[in-house]
Amino acid sequence: MTVLLPQIAILGAGSMGGAILSGLLSPEVETAGITVTNRTEAKAAGVRMSTAGHAGVVSLALESDPDATTTALHGAKLVLLGVKPAMVPKLLRDIRDTLPPDAIVVSVAAGVTIATMEALVPNVVFRAMPNTPSLVGLGVTGVAAGSRASDEHAALVRTLFETVGAVIELPESQIDALSTISGSGPAYVFLLIEQLTATARKLGFDEEQSRIMVEQTFRGASELLARERQQSDVDPAELRRRVTSPKGTTERAIGVLQSADLSELFDRATAAALVRAGEMACGE
Ligand SMILES: NC(=O)c1ccc[n+]([C@@H]2O[C@H](COP(=O)([O-])OP(=O)(O)OC[C@H]3O[C@@H](n4cnc5c(N)ncnc54)[C@H](OP(=O)(O)O)[C@@H]3O)[C@@H](O)[C@H]2O)c1
């Protein structure tokens, strides 16, 4: 099914803005045009290269074209802010007078609140928190609507982020909590992969063997879970039980892991991340 989106401006297409841009380039997505801006010509040239062959994508650099932002905003109905959080207030001040009144402003900046954005521009605003697997189309994005947003606006923003994965709509008060799970989550998974790989090395496997065993196991287990969920709503606990024969070797290993109270450990880890989000919101 083809996904239809209006004209889009992406102001700042580095890692995250670039990931969302790549989702918009998939064959199932049709937009009325995308204009991307970055600060440096080098970055703009990189975007031009990666979007070559996609009609309707324009990549501009402020360095070589001081009017790049104005050009990008002309006719845009969705304006995605992909700059670093500290730059968002200044960028909003700068574009306030050129933003089309009917453009929806969507920020992916961590820690920049809806109230801050609504105080700076009269437009409908959304705050979103994507994660890095968006780069491979398997992201999770939490989306919080601003006070001026309608259900129609929310549906459009959902469609935008669904091009790079799953979307969870939530009140802004839950954005930081979501971030401790899906935002930081890829780092938790990478840590587990690192640790299990180190254990494989200690068991005498070489680097390549260890890498294959661990990374393919994480990937395979995730794919298996996704398939079983889709086909018969089987949950991870059930899949774990299927690998864990009574009195078998896995049962022994799982017993050791569970005795470490992993659940409490994850509670503490996410609580620590939540405290840090609060500190950052206070400018610490
Ligand atoms: N990366 C993540 O995992 C992640 C996850 C969730 C949310 N986010 C949010 O995503 C935002 C961007 O993070 P990132 O990691 O993608 O950073 P990044 O890779 O540094 O991208 C920022 C981009 O903004 C461009 N830029 C700077 N000033 C600009 C301006 N005035 N107009 C247009 N473009 C401008 C930069 O261009 P030049 O390089 O040419 O200077 C750069 O390409 C942040 O607000 C962050 O909180 C990131």
- Going by alpha carbons, the residue nearest to atom 28 of ligand 1 is 39
Question: For strand 139-145 and strand 124-129, is the pairing parallel, antiparallel, or unpaired?
Answer: antiparallel
243 CA → ligand 1 middle, Å: 42
Does the pTM surpass 0.75? The reply is: yes
Same domain, 31 and 152: yes
165 CA → ligand 1 middle, Å: 20
Name the strands in the sheet holding 124-129, side by side, starting at the edge strand that comes first in the sequence: 57-61, 34-38, 8-11, 78-81, 104-107, 124-129, 139-145, 165-169
Q: What CATH number did the domain enclosing 258 receive? A: 1.10.3730.10
Please work out, in degrees rounded to the nearest 5, the angle formed at the alpha carbon of residue 167 by the alpha carbons of 163 and 105.
Answer: 75
Query: Residue 224 is part of which domain span?
Result: 185-281
The tokens describing 105, both together, are 């402003």
Ligand 1: residues within 6 Å at CB? 11-17, 37-40, 43, 62, 82-85, 87, 91, 108-110, 129-132
DSSP annotation of 239 reads H
Same domain, 215 and 166: no
Query: Average pLDDT over the chain, rounded to whole?
Result: 96
Q: Which atom of ligand 1 is nearest to the CA of 61?
A: 40
Residues 6+ apart with CB under 8 A from 111: 85, 277, 280, 281
43 CA → ligand 1 middle, Å: 11
22 CA → ligand 1 middle, Å: 15
pLDDT tens profile 147-164: 999 999 999 999 999 999
Question: Is 180 within the bounds of a domain?
Answer: no
pLDDT tens profile 193-210: 999 999 999 999 999 999
Question: Is 132 within the bounds of a domain?
Answer: yes
pLDDT at 284 over 80: no
Label residue 280 by pLDDT band (50, 70, 90).
Answer: confident
261 CA → ligand 1 middle, Å: 38
The tokens describing 60, both together, are 């501009």
Same domain, 171 and 220: no
The dihedral formed by the CA atoms of 157, 158, 159 and 163, expressed in degrees to the nearest 10:
110
Q: How many domains does the chain have?
A: 2
Domain final residue pick, 175, 196, 220: 175
